[in-house]
Amino acid sequence: MRPISAIAGAVMALSVPFSASAFELISRSEILAISDGSLPGSTLEAAPRAAVAEAPVIELLQPNATTHFRAPVDIHVRMRPGLGASLDMSSLEIRYVGSIFSFDITDRILERAEVKDGEIMASNADLPAGEHEILIRVNDSWDRKGERRFSFTVEE
């Protein structure tokens, strides 16, 4: 669970103009270290959660996961709570997934993102060329857990 203060800080950043410069979402050396579990903070990735009825829905609007693209890339995620609930943004977790290990990149994104009404928008995220997988998890106020994995390829 992410402390509410981290989310509050990200929300406060909405009033600050965003820089057009790229930020490194993950580096090539971190990807290699995540793959073998040697990156401090990397953890074994658990099996995907079972689908829960009325769990929050997570959509990746950008980048379009069906195409290849060049970095840097804009990231736009939309999350909707289950019926009758609200999102618990303090539960938000965004992980970079390697072969069997993953690494929490939530703070990296939130430091550069605009967070508003269940949407996260971050401009100019830099990723090395290759195949990538991102896992996003969020709960709603009824503690229903939503999870979504996105795979995409960054071209040279």
Residues 86-114 have pLDDT tens digits of 999 999 999 999 877 889 999 999 999 99
pLDDT for the residue numbered 69: 82
Residue 73 tokens read as: 């890339």
- pLDDT averaged over the chain? 80
How does pLDDT run across 40-57, given as a tens digit for each residue?
777 767 666 666 778 999
The share of the chain scoring above pLDDT 90, in percent, equals: 35
Ramachandran region, residue 6 (left: φ > 0; alpha: ψ -120 to 50; beta: rest): alpha
Q: Which residue has the tokens 């992980």?
A: 95
Domains, the chain: 4-155 (2.60.40.1220)
Q: Look at residues 107, 119, 13 and name the one whose alpha carbon lies nearest to residue 56.
A: 119
Q: How far apart are CA 68 and CA 34, in angstroms?
A: 23
Element (H, E) at 36: helix 28-36
Provide the token pair at 122.
Answer: 């971050």
pTM of the model: 0.74
